[in-house]
Chains A and B, each alone.
Chain A
Amino acid sequence: MSTMEVPKVPLCYRETSSLRATKGSLLLVETVPGVKYGEIVEVELGSGEVRYGQVIDVSKDVTVIQVFGGVSEVDMVKCRVRFRGETLKLPVSLDMLGRIFDGLGRPIDGGPPIVPEEYLDINGAPINPAARMPPSEFIETGISAIDGLNSLVRGQKLPIFSGSGLPHNRIAAQIVRQATVRGKEEKFAVVFAAIGVTYDDAAFFIRNFKEAGILDRTIVFINTAADPVIQRIATPRAALTAAEYLAWYHDMHVLVILTDMTNYCEALREISAAREEVPGRRGYPGYMYTDLATIYERAGRIWGKKGSITIMPILTMPDDDITHPIPDLTGYITEGQIVLSRDLQRKGIYPPVDVFLSLSRLMKEGIGEGKTREDHPYVFRQLYAAYAEGCHLREIASIVGMEALSPRDKKYLEFADVFERKFINQGEYERRSIEDTLDLAWDLLAMLPEEELKLIRPELIERYHPKYRRGREAGSHTSSTQG
């Protein structure tokens, strides 16, 4: 029924029925000679049901198996364990595009099995740092708060840090609908992994892919909240393996959306506790940083390869706390973060992007002359500084009152409001080109006295400031009517 079980070459199985004990989701069996560390096992229950597992510790006497799907109904008499002699592999093929799989890569859309072109280890292999090409191609998402202030580039890993009830899914869906790299007709694909989410959340995305007409360029992996916890560990890895196949074997630019990585981390914690490991901060295992890194570091570009992998994980911060180990460790791995703000959400701003906490570390490589527009780096800094000043004054005003503010200060205050309402705020189906975003930024900056625009080079002000732009447009208008 599933393709996963069909090995390329018949393997010589080793088999045992000498089970010793169970411990959490672990199964301890007597070691059979030749068992390999990390290999995949099949656990056949008395009922005939087969579950998968992985060898996570092996000594001369005991082999410890992590059972995907848990050890319920395992018994010591009828249960058999077969060793497959290889690590967990995902059968891949271009036919996966347009299809839906479970967390282990088995089709769940009722379609035919995949005829594999390759079997790839779901753990992948680390990209040699010397083979990496520094990411620098600007991805236009059509969202001003991202394109203008936190630009995304191909090969980047940029998460959305959200909170429960915030519109992270809608933003991610909008990005998937709208993201393009300009001036290029290139092969692209989306790999979407739903990790421990409700079926509704997963369905929301699939509906979106359908509406946008990109379902046939999308591979979906779904591990719902009801699926075994342990499969959650495999889900993002299966998704990235498919992404790597598309990017490195078929030159595609792949955008990978992983949601919700908080569920993944919870699964990691649960399993670690079951293994009775020494817990790290707040009960999360000490190796969570490394574990997450082996997922996120699969993003990138490689010299000599046309494709790319861009990862946008979504995670909900428990209690909106950015210092919680999940967002904290993620932030230490990813190349920035888009942080959503409950305050802005309350003000009715969509997308409610917190400009101060958000950051794209690879932005500077992707913007400016020849990439977006020459004024972008300066406009970005000026916007940022002006909004910061406005927010600062907002605080002061709340202590000492508006009266104490100078006319200049009041301008800044007004700027901050308009910036939130017009620049950050935009429609869910509104797609702003980077020029639209930058022009809009100039319109807002024009609210401030010109001498306040200290961070922008004078010649750029002359070229883009609405005052001069309008002057020029008016000028050319008159001359044309006269002519």
Chain B
Amino acid sequence: MVVGRIYRISGPLVIAEGMRGVQVYEVVEVGEDRLIGEVIGLDGDRAIIQVYEDTSGLSVGDKVVGTGRPLCAELGPGIIGTVYDGLQRPLSVLTEKVGPFVRRGVKEYSLPRDKKWHFKPLVKVGDKVGEGDIIGIVQETPLVEHKIMVPPGIYGVVKEVVPEGDYTIEEPVAIVERGSEKYEVKMYQLWPIRKPRPYVQRLDPDEPLITGVRVIDMLFPLAKGGTAAVPGGFGTGKTVLLQTFAKWADAQIHIYVGCGERGNEMADALHSFLRLRDPRSGRPLREKAIFIANTSNMPVAARETSVFLGVTIAEYFRDMGYNVLLVADSTSRWAEAMREISGRLEEMPGEEGFPAYLGSRLASFYERAGKVVCLGNPRRIGSVTIAGAVSPPGADFSEPVTQNTLRIVRCLFALDVALANRRHFPAINWLISYSLYVDTVERWWGERVGKDWRYLRDKAMELLQREAELQEIVRLVGPEVLPERDKLVLEVARMIREDFLMQDAFDPVDCYSAPEKTYSMLRIIIKFYEHGVKAVDSGIPVAEIRKLPIRTTIARLKFMRNEEVVEKVKEYEKELEREFMELGSKFGAGGVG
């Protein structure tokens, strides 16, 4: 064990001497209070340490002790529903222990040691097991069956296994023997947060992650195992959008990383996850969620550990064969922490003072998303989907964090200040956002929901695009001079915007739009357009089409419950045809009224 002494303290950065023998990324304990730090560089016998707690009160000469291991996550039963800080300390436990304020140097296990879990073994003595094999299960919450896996790197023959029963995580549940070596398998394992967990093979993300947000599911689909960036100025709806994902997306495990953001927001998330129910099972959302909270006023260095801790937990559940969703709000705050540390190290600053390794560090986070064949038996497929908020200064997307993120992620949900000011929510700008998964998820939608999903999507995009062009003209000369066909485009584009894209995240019904509902809503709007074109071509003015009662009916669809919409839309489509027919006869077939 290496014991050195502090040589210099500068904010979260401590330099210690006499540290020969420690490794980069080794965890060290700093000072009397044993503050947690991580070695981020070595210089002769000096170690450069990033300290994850407030360094006030440290003195030159204070002890620094190496622990011989990197920063690890504790992974096992007890993790679901918990709120952790960036060092995986359970924040609720800390409140009980030291009161409502964050104190430094407090040590607490991430997983409860005294709680007993009901373990069901799935292997027997004599079975051959290897890394990733599931040897038993624990029903951790009604929503999550926690699979107990042989940790990576371990294989052999099961020498002992406990009978079904209640055990704490410290009690070995199996003993695996290889030659003369014995390994005790416990219900939990440790894993270094900066190291991606192994898997067998990466697969193409070809199944959509249904978010329940219409503009995303229909226009810019996210895929299970995919990545997305949500940049936007303040108040444009990043947090609301990410929380919407975390609440309603069809993943089995939801991880919410609040990194350098507001405390009240975190409190609100914790609160609403207790109250809100999973749309598929009816259970409280908290039963499948994990929270990591390192708010803006908590130590900056721990912003980095928050995101890596989050993704490590995500991979762990992926390895069980689950689809995991991780949202990180906001990656910019983490990047700023990197900048601050880098500045103190007097490294060569890159763009806007960010370190040159900004891009690679961001990549090392997003690259851990993916759909994979998991290690071990039985064969299973799991995924980690990552959506990260980016907070560009002045809402200017040309800044380094946004640009570096866009180089890595496959979806851009660009939030727009102008839309947000108009209270068009979600304020996703449809002209600059994109998804590279449109082609890969097309099959899923075509087979499961509606054959013409792709057609509808492209049609909607085309109308929106056309609207933008027409609006330029309107701005110069007013709307009246436009040909009727273009007026119809404006009318229908407006329907798409207001009746389809706009979605109230806080309305009990509108907050989650099931795929069938989303699809049906757009289908009837496009149908309206197609009938409209025919009507216009036969000489009916758009002003008359605008008055059709079906328009109001369509506008109300978003407040109709998911289960009802599909049948209703079929009815309404007939009504739509009838109304257009009547309109046609009123104007005389083909004639002008």
Contact surface of A with B, Cβ cutoff 8 Å:
31, 33-39, 56-60, 87, 123-135, 155-156, 277-281, 286-287, 289-290, 293-294, 297-300, 302-305, 323-325, 328-329, 331-333, 335-337, 356-357, 359, 361-362, 364-365, 384-385, 388, 396, 399-400, 404, 454
Query: Cβ of B393 and Cβ of A297 under 8 Å apart?
Result: no
Query: Cβ of A60 and Cβ of B8 under 8 Å apart?
Result: yes
Stretch of B96-104, B510-518, B565-573 contacting A (4+ beta carbons < 8 Å): B96-104
Q: How far is the CA of A125 from the CA of B299 in the complex (A)?
A: 11
Q: Shortest beta-carbon distance, A452 to chain B, in Å? A: 12
Asked if B59 lies at the interface with its beta carbon under 8 angstroms from chain A, I say yes
Stretch of B50-58, B319-327, B530-538, B579-587 contacting A (4+ beta carbons < 8 Å): B50-58
Stretch of B266-274, B373-381, B448-456, B521-529 contacting A (4+ beta carbons < 8 Å): B266-274
Partner of A57, one of B9, B333, B391: B9
The 7 closest A-B pairs by CB, nearest first: A38-B56, A293-B296, A59-B8, A131-B100, A331-B234, A132-B267, A323-B394
Query: Cβ of A328 and Cβ of B8 under 8 Å apart?
Result: no
Query: Cβ of B101 and Cβ of A357 under 8 Å apart?
Result: no
Query: Cβ of A135 and Cβ of B264 under 8 Å apart?
Result: yes
Chain A neighbourhood of B92, CB < 8 A: 130
Interface residues of B in 50-102 (CB under 8 A from A): 55-61, 83, 91-92, 94-95, 99-102
Q: How far is the CA of A129 from the CA of B263 in the complex (A)?
A: 5
Whose C-beta in chain A lies nearest to the C-beta of B478? A400
Interface residues of B in 1-50 (CB under 8 A from A): 7-10, 15
A128 in contact with B95 given A303-B100, A388-B423 (CB within 8 Å): yes
Q: Shortest beta-carbon distance, B107 to chain A, in Å? A: 15
Q: How far is the CA of A325 from the CA of B58 in the complex (A)?
A: 33
Number of A-B contacts (CB under 8 A): 190
Q: Shortest beta-carbon distance, B246 to chain A, in Å? A: 16
Q: How far is the CA of A287 from the CA of B266 in the complex (A)?
A: 22
Query: Cβ of B353 and Cβ of A278 under 8 Å apart?
Result: yes
Whose C-beta in chain A lies nearest to the C-beta of B330? A332
Partner of B263, one of A123, A132, A328: A132
Query: Cβ of A126 and Cβ of B8 under 8 Å apart?
Result: no
Partner of B264, one of A36, A57, A335, A399: A335
Chain B neighbourhood of A281, CB < 8 A: 352, 393-394
Partner of A332, one of B8, B352, B391: B391
A128 in contact with B235 given A58-B60, A297-B263, A325-B393 (CB within 8 Å): no
Q: How far is the CA of A339 from the CA of B295 in the complex (A)?
A: 25
Partner of B56, one of A31, A36, A133, A289: A36
Chain A neighbourhood of B423, CB < 8 A: 384-385, 388
Query: Cβ of B339 and Cβ of A286 under 8 Å apart?
Result: yes
Whose C-beta in chain B lies nearest to the C-beta of A33? B61
Whose C-beta in chain B lies nearest to the C-beta of A293? B296
Query: Cβ of A125 and Cβ of B103 under 8 Å apart?
Result: yes
A33 in contact with B60 given A60-B8, A281-B393 (CB within 8 Å): yes
8 additional A-B pairs beyond A37-B58, A297-B296, beta carbons within 8 Å, are A57-B9, A126-B298, A129-B263, A286-B336, A303-B100, A328-B234, A359-B235, A362-B264
A-B CB contact pairs (8 Å), 23 listed: A37-B59, A87-B57, A124-B101, A129-B295, A131-B91, A132-B263, A132-B264, A278-B343, A293-B296, A297-B295, A298-B297, A303-B95, A304-B100, A305-B100, A323-B394, A323-B395, A328-B393, A328-B394, A331-B233, A335-B262, A357-B421, A362-B264, A404-B478
